[in-house]
């Protein structure tokens, strides 16, 4: 008799576990499904910064929304990497101008004017711009913001002008439109 009750006890436990498993699976399927959040046109929102305009007045970087923005973070206007990067941009400046690209220089050390034929906006506090974009080190950093407010690219070496133009032409919005079969 003892074997019979042990066998029935094990069968009862197995049956109970099976019922609990089935109930758990059934409850999971019966639970209301959460809707996925709507797709956004912003994948990686660009942090805001301020820049200095005429007369020393500070303006928010968000004033540039709708235009591509290229930020160069460097120690000073005399940094060799910045001069090299500015020279590369000069060679294709008409292509950038056609895209209404804004160039911003953010200096983590000595501030000043960028010696270039390319017009540069100077960030008000270059060290804080470097910090909000996660830039570390003493070389140059290149940050490309799309017209939609996305950080489309971040790099630490000097970049070719064509590479930066390609990034501007291939923004998050352009990629999303290509995937959906629409044009932006």
pLDDT tens track for 144-176:
999 888 899 999 889 999 999 999 988 766 666
Per-residue pLDDT of 52-80, as tens digits, reads 887 888 888 888 889 999 999 999 999 99
Residue with tokens 């005399």: 78
Whole-number pLDDT of residue 61 = 86
Three-state DSSP at 122 gives: strand
69-74 and 102-107 as β-strands: parallel, antiparallel, unpaired?
parallel
What's the whole-model pTM score? 0.70
* Beta pairing partners, 144: 70, 153
Is 24 strand, coil or helix?
A: helix
DSSP H or E stretch at residue 152: strand 151-155
> Tokens 């570390």 appear where?
136
């Amino acid at each position: 008799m003892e074997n019979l009750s042990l066998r029935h006890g094990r069968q009862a436990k197995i049956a109970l576990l099976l019922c609990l498993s089935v109930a758990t699976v059934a409850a999971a399927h019966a639970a209301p499904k959460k809707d996925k959040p709507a797709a956004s046109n912003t994948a990686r929102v660009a942090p805001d910064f301020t820049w200095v305009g005429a007369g020393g007045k500070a303006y928010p970087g968000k004033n540039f929304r709708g235009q591509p923005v290229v930020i160069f973070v460097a120690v000073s206007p005399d940094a060799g990497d910045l001069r090299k990067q500015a020279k590369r941009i000069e060679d294709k400046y008409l292509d950038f101008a056609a895209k209404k690209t804004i160039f911003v220089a953010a200096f983590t050390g000595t501030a000043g004017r960028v010696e270039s034929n390319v017009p540069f906006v100077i960030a008000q506090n270059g060290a804080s711009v470097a910090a909000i974009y996660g830039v570390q080190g003493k070389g140059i950093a290149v940050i490309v913001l799309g017209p939609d407010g996305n950080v489309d690219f971040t790099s630490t070496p000097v970049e070719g002008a064509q590479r930066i133009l390609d990034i501007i032409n291939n923004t998050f919005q352009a990629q999303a439109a290509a995937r959906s079969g629409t044009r932006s």
